[in-house]
Amino acid sequence: MKETPWILFCLDSAGPSAAPYAVEVAAQRMRGWSREGVAFHQLLKPREEAAAGASALFGHSLETLERDGLPAASAYRELLAYSEQAPWVAYELEKHWGVLLSDWQQLGILPPGERGFCAASLAQRLLDPLPAANCRLEMLRQFYQLPERLPKSALSQLETLGDLIETVLLPIVEAQGLETWEELVAFTLAPWFPSRITFGKFKGRLFQDAHQDAELAKWLEWLAASSNEQSASMGAWYLQQLSSLPADAPRSREAGEPASQPQRGEPGGSADPATEVALVTDPEEERLKDRVAKARTRLAELEAAYTIDRRAVETAQSILFGILRPYFQKRDKLCLVVRYRRKFLEALLTGGEEEAEEVVRESDTAAHQTDTEYEQTASAMADRKTLSEEEEEELKRLWRKLVGLFHPDRFASEPDKQEAYAQLTREINDARDKGDIELLREIVRDPEEFMAKMGLSRLNFASEQELSGLKKLLNALESMILSTLASLETLREDPAYELYRLNEKRPGFIEAAAREQARKVELEIEALEGEAAKLQSEITELHGGAEPGI
């Protein structure tokens, strides 16, 4: 493998989902596990409908693609010359290779080189039991604290993939003895399912636990006997692995441990040693405890970042809601009026007055429910305190300290004590969400007194876990880190987050956006008022001049 040439590539596609085509291609020649020479990167001139797809992915505008892109045939000629007939590898190989083949077929180009292996499949297998659903490239970049490549593009994704391979995957490949290209391809193509069960009553459990858990073992046998072919294959694979794995064998993460971890200052190393997180476990107890401590610190930092961003988004939404509430509430009421007046007319004409009166009662209930929902939303937003920048920093510091001290994962093997600490953690998180600094200060000043006031057990930091418990704890913390990273990414993809960021850059932006939105809603209100009046006129006429309350 050391001298094997291959091509690592990434592309951005646009067009209809059934027939996408490339608008940006990046590739890197590899020699063994090292990047060889300068990467290839080229934009392609857009086809007629390319702009929307490209802009949605990496921000390419139609103007940029027209100005800097090459015609597809020219771009691919350069790419093929760069590739030198080497095998092709991508993070999502099935998707990216399919786009290239489709483009080449349309252009009459014969596929140069062979399809290699899928880097995502390689990562899933090597990093197992890292949750398979979180093996997205960006999640792994954040988890391993690899460099962030900007601006976002196919080239930046290619560079991140190279970082992941060299820094994270290569040590595990070497530890597992995958020495040749053929062994690597076979490894990625072999049947495989994640060690951590992803669904059902045992979701989150490692299948190897079936050696000690009879109920889990029975569930795997049930899965293998399923009438669903995929479920049966999964169950059979788990049972086969169990039969070849001694009950006391190390789990997959220990077995695939890399020889070394990223060091400070290297790709994947943390600028702050206190925030470093290692993915794999170590049989030495002291080292494992250190990793657990670092994982806790990293989790607290991420949760604090998520909390601050979420509070900022909620504050922006609260401002927007306060301005637009009267407009939206009036519009929603009119929508109900129109809907129920139509329903009233239909009931009156087909079912008579008694059926129509039932519609009136339904209308009153719906109107009351809408008013209640608006009041509840307003009340929830009013509970959130607006904090200064200094108070936000204090909130973050206090919350991080408290969670580090009282997180229930410290007592994973003691259910009663764990529940007490889980309740305390819920109180701490609730205070965080509401911006209640005073409550956090109270807990920090005298946690014993606060626990007593809540009727909980006294504090005890002397609990030490055995090696197996520490391994489970580290696995749990890693899953929580990935979950928090995913939540943070989802939050930052929300349009409400963009609203908050724009308002940070341009104070008053929210108010201006609200005024523009209010004008649009006023037009909707005007149209609804006209339709409601017309329906009321028809109802009044059918009722002989009387106006029912709807």
CA distance 517 to 514: 5
How many angstroms separate the CA atoms of 154 and 97, rounded?
Answer: 14
Separation CA 192–CA 241 (nearest Å): 10
| Residues whose CB is less than 8 angstroms from the CB of residue 410 and which lie 6 or more positions away in sequence, other chains included | 421, 461, 463
Neighbour-count burial of 50, counting CB atoms closer than 10 A to its CB (0-12 exposed, 13-18 middle, 19+ buried): buried
User: What would the DSSP string read from start to end of 250-271?
Assistant: PPHHHHT--S--PPTTSTT--S
Among the CATH numbers 3.30.420.10, 2.60.60.20, 3.30.830.10, 3.40.50.300, which is that of 5-189? Answer: 3.30.420.10
| Domain assignments of the chain as residue spans, ordered by start | 5-189, 196-250
Rounded Cα distance between 199 and 210, Å, is 16
Q: Which helix or strand (DSSP H or E) is residue 505 part of?
A: helix 495-505
Q: How many CB atoms lie within 10 A of CB 140?
A: 25
Running DSSP on this structure, what letter comes out for residue 168?
Answer: I
pLDDT one-digit tens code per residue, 66-97: 889 999 999 999 999 999 889 999 999 999 99
Q: For 89, phi and psi rounded to 5 degrees?
A: -130, 135
Can you tell me the distance from the alpha carbon of 196 to that of 129, in angstroms, rounded to the nearest whole number? Answer: 6
3-state secondary structure of 366: helix
Secondary structure of 448-487 in HEC code, one letter for each residue: HHHHHHCCCCCCCCCCCCCHHHHHHHHHHHHHHHHHHHHH
Name residue 266's amino acid: E
Q: Note the pTM of the prediction, 2 decimals.
A: 0.71
Quote the pLDDT of residue 272.
41
Positive/negative CA dihedral, 390, 392, 396, 399: positive
Say how far apart CA 116 and CA 8 lie, in whole Å. Answer: 9
Rounded to a whole number of angstroms, the distance between the first and last alpha carbons of the chain is 78
Each residue of 149-204: pLDDT tens digit? 888 899 999 999 999 999 999 999 999 999 999 999 999 999 999 998 988 888 88
Tell me how far apart the alpha carbons of residues 504 and 13 are, in angstroms, rounded to a whole number. 32
In the numeric block, which tokens belong to residue 273? Answer: 């040693």
For residues 308 and 302, is the Cβ–Cβ distance under 8 A? no
- The Cα–Cα gap between 117 and 123 comes to 11
Task: State phi, psi for 355 to the nearest 5 degrees.
Answer: -65, -35
In contact, 313 and 504? CB cutoff 8 Å: no
Per-residue b/e over 305-315, b at no fewer than 16 CB within 10 Å? ebbbbbbbbbb
Rounded distance between C-alpha atoms, residue 121 and residue 185, angstroms: 10
Phi, psi angles (nearest 5°) of residue 21: -145, 155
Residue 206 per-residue DSSP state:
B
Instruction: In whole angstroms, give the CA distance from residue 113 to residue 83.
Output: 8
pLDDT in tens, the chain (550 residues): 778 999 999 999 887 776 788 999 999 999 999 999 999 999 998 876 544 444 444 557 778 888 899 999 999 999 999 998 899 999 999 999 999 999 999 999 888 888 999 999 999 999 988 866 668 899 999 999 999 988 889 999 999 999 999 999 999 999 999 999 999 999 999 999 999 898 888 888 889 989 989 999 999 999 999 999 999 999 999 999 998 876 555 444 443 344 334 433 333 344 343 334 444 444 467 888 888 888 888 887 888 788 878 888 888 888 899 999 999 999 999 999 999 999 999 998 888 888 888 999 999 999 999 999 999 888 877 766 667 778 777 877 887 778 767 766 655 556 666 677 777 778 887 887 777 888 888 888 887 787 777 776 555 544 445 666 777 778 778 888 888 898 899 999 888 999 999 999 999 999 999 999 999 999 999 999 999 999 999 888 887 655 556 7
Tokens of 225: 């006997």
* Measured distance CA(41)–CA(28) in Å, rounded: 9
How is residue 123 annotated by DSSP? H
